[in-house]
Amino acid sequence: MKLMFTASAVAFAVSAATAQAQTEVQWWHAMGGELGAKLEEIVKGFNDSQSDYKVVPSYKGTYPETMTAAIAAFRAKQQPAIVQVFEVGTGTMMAAEGAIIPVHQLMADQGAAFDPAGFLPQVVGYYTDTDGNMLSMPFNSSTPILYYNKTVFEKAGLDPNTPPKTWGEMEEFSKKIIDSGAATCGFTTGWISWIQTENFSAWHNQPIGTMENGFGGLDARLTVNGPVQVKHWGNLKKWADEGIFKYGGPVGGDNAPPMFYSQECAMIMNSSASRAGVIANAKDFELGFGMLPYYDDVEGAPQNSIIGGATLWVLSGRPDEEYAGAAKFFEYLSSPAVQADWASFSGYLPITQAAADEMAGFFAENPGADTGLNQITLNAPTENSKGLRFGNYVQIRGIIDEEFEQLLAGSKDAQGALDGVVARGNALIEEFETQNQ
Amino acid sequence: MKRTIFRNQLLPWLLLAPQLAITFIFFLWPAAQAVWQSFLREDAFGINSTFVWFENYRRLWGSAEYLNSMKVTLIFAVSVTVLSMGVALLMAVAVDRMLRSTRIYTTLLVWPYAVAPAVAGILWWFIFNPTVGIMPYVLGQMGIRWNHISNPDQAMTLVVIASAWKQISYNFLFFVAGLQAIPASLREAAAIDGAGPIKRFFTITFPLLSPTTFFLLVVNIVYSMFETFAVIDSTTEGGPAQATNIMVYKVYFDGFIGQNMGSSGAQSVILMLIVIALTVIQFRYVEKKVEY
């Protein structure tokens, strides 16, 4: 007993001492490797810029691991003030009223400088409620683009400076490349769910679900089995059988980039944020960038692509001074200089117009680096191209992969596979709805 | 049994306390929480919580994915057990015939057991990686297209090989010990009576090995059902299309990735019942009924 008293007295004294000096704000994130090092550099910049607050970043593993850790910590009342959550976790975080403090509210409560109009609507739109209030602070957002091998294009007799614009050209170019022997496969892709389903739908202005893709409430349901999506999945299966397209595996498609790097496949669709990695690996050939292809017979295509990546959520239940620190940190984080630095380094999209303007010099020096930004800002987002928001979406992404795999294996046709996505996905969405009532 | 009498009533409890505390904190308490969790329907953060009785269990029986997971687990457990025990027995019999080199072979064959399951998984993942692996290249030369990322049967083959490989060492050790316990005189007598090596094995050696075999059978089923999580996680992550999503992996996925604690709790309770059943079989049936 005595020992316990002393221990707690010491703990109290220690915490009191740090509280006097600086308020620590815990930030749990999922940025490993070089991105993690850059993140720590940004945090250091903030900590050095003032003396009242100290942001403490902790790497918690992958996106799902970080989110799980934060939720478990919240249940044990040990939550960090700030946690980085990937875009598909948005539905879960949003529904947890009482567990989160929306960013617009945090900034208003703390009297921080905050101009919602300065943010790029295509980026923050994914994370706003139906009234346009920002719920979380975008940190790393990206969008899928097309990377292609100029050297192979040249060998195949194609113009190396003209990437395919439509899916028709995609097929035609691929056939030329294979027939000429320049490469054995036309194209591959990361993320069947994010790129070939969600972004594909937005890019063609097709709904993914009802009620503005789920933005309207918990009773929204998936409708991703429309004719345009069915046609595309059917084509992917046809192209896979013909050897034009090669599947890179579920989730992010880990096997897709090696196929592109080894020049087996001439083109790859992947995140704009993988730009640095692609450049580093494209040693033996010249690299080109293009926008995602579209079907020119679909009205309204191309619309605009949607984002992926992660945002920073503020969890409730921490002392008030930590929130003051969090608000200050968000102010710093969204400043044009910090944003431009982070976006130029990582390939993620700048989140404010001011930061995008600041990057003009960088874009001029690095051709193709602005492809993603141009693509998301191609048109003003419609209710089909703002993003999507459904509960249990992590598992639904898994279902999309599974149904696509069944399509490839030939046990289902495109309509059957997408019907499967809708039926199984909606069962999970219904479950989420009952859990959150 | 020798009985030790403690004068002090407190001392035995004190001596037991660390073990009891560990059992309580790491086994009983989490198990009780899983049982409680399995009756609740909750959102991820635990803000809304409803007591739903057996709703989570009822949903499992109606879930095609869960029934598929049970089927996958059955196929997986039987394949791993048969493969790892079969190969181990073959090697043990071969080593048993050696005179001087027994020790060297035994030491070499035990090595894989020291490899952590996650490391074993990564190892096999590299060997069979469809893009950069050596096996798909070799198989490709033979006209077999290996791609376990999209082929469910090949994915199952991969996780069975990766899981069985590790367990062969363990089974091998027990089989060698079991073989050495069989008196050589019995086999020699049979040999004198004119029984060939194969007949000797099936009529003398194998029946006398039955206690070891039954023990290993239970151990291997438990191993393949519960301890292969790391292998699955580092090779296939349950895919493609749930083809290798064994029950243990599904508990993890639904609970930690899917944040569905109620269903995950119900699934772990079912697994707990299976472990209890297997333990009862081992203690009540195997240890008593197998005689020689």
Kindly state the tokens that stand for A48: 């050095």
> B246 vs chain A: nearest CA distance in angstroms?
15
Could you count the other beta carbons within 10 Å of the beta carbon of residue B138?
12
From the list A401, A431, A437, which residue is nearest B48 (CB)?
A437
ipTM: 0.70
Burial A182-192 (b: 16+ CB within 10 A, else e): bbebbbbbbbb
- Is A372 part of a structural domain of the chain? no
From the list B152, B240, B256, which residue is nearest A250 (CB)?
B240
Please report the pLDDT score of residue B288 as a whole number: 61
In chain B, which residues touch A (CB < 8 A)? Answer: 41-48, 129-132, 149-152, 237, 239-242, 254, 256-260
Report H helices in A270-370: 275-281, 320-333, 336-346, 353-358, 360-365
Which residues lie below 8 Å from residue B116, measured CB to CB, with a gap of 6+? B230
Q: Is A312 in the same domain as A265?
A: no
Please report the pLDDT score of residue B3 as a whole number: 65
Whole-angstrom CA distances from B260 to A245, A395, A435, B51, B263 are 35, 10, 9, 14, 6
Residue A268 sits at φ, ψ, to 5 deg, of -145, 140
Rounded to an integer, what distance in angstroms lies between the CA atom of residue A9 and that of residue B179? Answer: 63
Task: Write out the E strands in chain B.
Answer: 40-42, 49-51
pLDDT at A341 over 80: yes
Burial B239-253 (b: 16+ CB within 10 A, else e): bbbbbbbbbbbbbbb
Asked if A57 contacts A44 with a C-beta cutoff of 8 angstroms, the reply is no
Please report the pLDDT score of residue A168 as a whole number: 94
From the list A92, A259, A435, which residue is nearest B42 (CB)?
A435
Residues of B in contact with A74 (CB under 8 A): 45-46
Domain that holds residue A49: 2-142+307-365
Q: Is A119 in the same domain as A161?
A: no
Reported as a pLDDT band with limits 50, 70 and 90, residue A154 is: very high
- List the beta bridge partners of residue A83: A28, A313
Q: Tokens 């086999």 label which residue? A: B187
Q: Is A109 in the same domain as A249?
A: no
Q: Is A70 in the same domain as A104?
A: yes
pLDDT at A36 over 50: yes
Q: State the Cα angle at B81 between B78 and B84, rounded to 5°.
A: 140
Residues of B in contact with A75 (CB under 8 A): 45-46
Please report the pLDDT score of residue A17 as a whole number: 47
Please report the pLDDT score of residue B234 as a whole number: 86
Amino acid, single-letter form, for residue A219: D
Amino acid, single-letter form, for residue A211: M
Interface size between A and B, measured as CB pairs under 8 A? 81
In chain A, which residues touch B (CB < 8 A)? Answer: 64, 68, 71, 74-75, 92, 95-99, 247-251, 255, 258-259, 262, 392, 394-395, 401-403, 405-406, 408-409, 431, 434-437
- Is A58 part of a structural domain of the chain? yes
Rounded to an integer, what distance in angstroms lies between the CA atom of residue A149 and that of residue B83? Answer: 45
Least confident of A11-25, B241-255, B277-291: A11-25
Residue A267 sits at φ, ψ, to 5 deg, of -140, 155
The pTM score is: 0.79
Give the dihedral of Cα atoms A27, A198, B154, A183; nearest 10 deg: -110
Kindly state the tokens that stand for B94: 């071969």
Of A327, A349, A365, the one marking the end of a domain is A365
Q: Which of A298, A302, A121 is nearest to A199 (CA)?
A: A302
Per-residue pLDDT tens over the stretch B157-174: 999 999 999 899 999 999
Rounded to an integer, what distance in angstroms lies between the CA atom of residue B138 and that of residue B143? Answer: 9
Helix (H, G, I), strand (E, B) or coil at A276: helix
Give residue A60's Cα distance to chain centre: 18
Residues of A in contact with B136 (CB under 8 A): none
Q: Is A353 in the same domain as A283?
A: no
Residues of B in contact with A259 (CB under 8 A): 131
Judging by beta carbons within 10 Å of its beta carbon (0-12, 13-18, 19+), is residue A218 exposed, middle or buried?
buried
CATH number of the CATH domain containing A73: 3.40.190.10
Please report the pLDDT score of residue B156 as a whole number: 92
pLDDT at A2 over 60: no
Burial A5-35 (b: 16+ CB within 10 A, else e): eeeeeeeeeeeeeeeeeebbbbbbbbbeeeb
From the list B237, B241, B260, which residue is nearest A406 (CB)?
B241
Q: Tokens 């191209």 label which residue? A: A385
Please report the pLDDT score of residue A286 as a whole number: 93
Give domain B54-289's CATH superfamily. Answer: MetI-like (1.10.3720.10)
Q: Is A196 in the same domain as A247?
A: yes
| First-residue to last-residue Cα distance in chain B | 25
Kindly state the tokens that stand for B169: 């060492």
- Is A423 part of a structural domain of the chain? yes
Helix (H, G, I), strand (E, B) or coil at A113: coil
Per-residue pLDDT tens over the stretch B40-81: 888 778 777 888 889 889 888 888 889 999 999 999 999 999
From the list A71, A262, A403, which residue is nearest B45 (CB)?
A71
> A117 vs chain B: nearest CA distance in angstroms?
31
**Average of pLDDT values for B125-154?**
85
From the list A74, A250, A392, which residue is nearest B45 (CB)?
A74
Q: Tokens 């580092």 label which residue? A: B234
Residues of B in contact with A61 (CB under 8 A): none
Kindly state the tokens that stand for A226: 């429309």
Task: Write out the E strands in B32-96.
Answer: 40-42, 49-51
Please report the pLDDT score of residue A329 as a whole number: 93
Count of domains forming chain A = 2
Q: Which of A349, A37, A378, A428 is nearest to A203 (CA)?
A: A378
From the list B241, B254, B256, which residue is nearest A402 (CB)?
B241
Per-residue pLDDT tens over the stretch A281-304: 888 999 999 999 999 999 888 999
Judging by beta carbons within 10 Å of its beta carbon (0-12, 13-18, 19+), is residue B6 exposed, middle or buried?
exposed
- Is A375 part of a structural domain of the chain? no
> A71 vs chain B: nearest CA distance in angstroms?
6
**Average of pLDDT values for A347-372?**
89
pLDDT at A400 over 60: yes
Amino acid, single-letter form, for residue A432: F
Q: Is A91 in the same domain as A215?
A: no
- Is A217 part of a structural domain of the chain? yes
Q: Is A298 in the same domain as A313?
A: no
Report H helices in A50-197: 63-75, 90-95, 103-109, 121-124, 150-155, 167-180
Residues of A in contact with B258 (CB under 8 A): 392, 394-395
Q: Is A153 in the same domain as A111?
A: no
Q: Which residue of A has its CA nearest to B255?
A: A68
Amino acid, single-letter form, for residue A141: S
Q: Which of B182, B200, B183 is nearest to B191 (CA)?
A: B200
The radius of gyration computed from the CA coordinates of chain A, to the nearest angstrom, equals 23
Q: Tokens 């299976």 label which residue? A: B274
Rounded to an integer, what distance in angstroms lies between the CA atom of residue B171 and that of residue A326? Answer: 56
Per-residue pLDDT tens over the stretch B170-192: 999 999 888 888 888 888 888 88
Mutation target to probe the A interface, by most A beta carbons within 10 A, among B250, B259, B260, B261 is B259
- Is A74 part of a structural domain of the chain? yes
Per-residue pLDDT tens over the stretch A240-249: 999 999 998 8
- Is A98 part of a structural domain of the chain? yes
Please report the pLDDT score of residue B287 as a whole number: 63
